Amino acid sequence: MMFTTIQLAYEDGVAILTLNRPEKRNAISFELIDDLLHALDEVAKSDAIVLIVTGAGKAFCSGMDLENLKSLLGRTPEQNLQDSETMVRLFRTLYEFPKVTIAAVNGPAIAGGTGLALLCDFTLAAPGAKFGYTEVRIGFVPAIVSTFLLRQVGEKQARDLLLTGRIFDAGEAHQMGLINEIVPADTLMNRARTLAAQLKENSAASLRATKQLLTDHSRAELDAQIGAAVRENAAIRRTADFREGITSFLEKRKPVWTGK
């Protein structure tokens, strides 16, 4: 399949998926989400044992594309709900992917980019990588990502990251257990390939079964939490603060919140 926003290559049992919008810092667009879902489906059906996800250029993924962000102001309630369900599908597909996944975070991974980076089985990051659940800073709610973050860190740390919306670096992410290793930028992909080679020494059947076991353990809890997250994600878009947050962000000014 041909993709316009990503690149997908195969190297001896390893699939390498590269977010390929360097001029947009690999920002998440509706088209990118569609490409990612199709690519993940292709890799899942392939002979690849390991999937490496990385970004082209200086960023891993800078969050939502500005044009797409602007378009959210004109979406209907039905479209908002559909958008939320699509994002859940992307994140959950990656989180429950049947092949082993490695994120090679070459630069900033913000908002939705943080979600993509940290939902992989292994996350390797360059020293200059930055992360942040910045949704509250633009009047949004981190409903979907919070479901996964609470499983990865303690509640106190999750509250800190989600309520402040602050940016944190690779060192702090490593300290919290959100990333596995900090790797020099010039050797990041080599390290990802080395890890992939190590994983390939294991039984492919055992890897699949182990991942299925982990997925089965979390499915019931995720099913219960995701429904509420989708509704909250869609509902916040009807608020005045959401409209002000998006507008002020696009206009590069400080937002004037009303709490409505």
Give catalytic residue positions: 135
CB 91 within 8 A of CB 148: yes
How far apart CA 155 and CA 184 sit, in angstroms, is 31
Closest CA to 26 of 40, 41, 7: 7
Closest CA to 60 of 3, 7, 131: 131
Question: How is residue 162 written in tokens?
Answer: 């989600």
Beta-ladder partners of 109: 61, 131
How far apart CA 67 and CA 249 sit, in angstroms, is 12
**Dihedral angle sign, alpha carbons of residues 55, 108, 135, 221:** positive
CB 109 within 8 A of CB 58: no
End-to-end CA distance of the chain: 45
How far apart CA 8 and CA 71 sit, in angstroms, is 28
Question: How is residue 6 written in tokens?
Answer: 């990503």
Amino acid at site 97: F
How far apart CA 60 and CA 25 sit, in angstroms, is 7
